[in-house]
Amino acid sequence: MDWYDAVFELIDMRSFSNLWYWIALAVVWSTTSHWVLGVPYDMVLRARDHGGEAESDLRDMVRINTSRQLYIAQVSGLWLIALVSMLLTGLAILGFFYGVEFAQAVFLIALPMTFVGLLTVSTARGIVQHQSVGPDLHRRMLNHRRATQVIGMVSIFVTAMWGMYKNLDVGAFGP
């Protein structure tokens, strides 16, 4: 067995039967639900429970991150929409029309993350428009986190169902 075969035996290129894909999926959604608008969620809880300096720190972090998100959306939003649409379309065609399993796997992570990105911009816009502080800010951050978690749960469920289907399909009929 040469080096090339050893590497590809270790890193199975069939995504849905690969443990590393499922670990990466769990890390993506765990990280995404922990970082609410770029702010760690424990910071939101600490500000809600203790107030004072923790609340001031939260306000500053949210102000910096919402300004950044809205600036990016305003300056390059249309280009980002075009680029992401092109990439998602390419992945969908490669994955589901041509049957490239790796493209299916990336698509099943990228599409829901696109919804999280849109939700992030929407939440940032709402925080800035309503000048949210204190309990209103905490509520908006909590709602954003819950919505992200719902998107993540649906995404993981759909990905698991598709992955099981692909594994059973390949297992039954060969590669």
**Which pLDDT value is given to residue 8?**
62
Q: What is the pLDDT of residues 27-85, one digit of tens each?
A: 999 999 999 999 999 999 999 999 899 999 999 999 999 999 999 999 999 999 999 99
CA distance 77 to 84: 10
Which pTM value belongs to this model?
0.86
What are the boundaries of each domain within the chain? Answer: 41-166
CA distance 149 to 152: 5
Q: What is the pLDDT of residues 92-145, one digit of tens each?
A: 999 999 999 999 999 999 999 999 999 999 999 999 999 999 999 999 999 999
End-to-end CA, the chain: 21
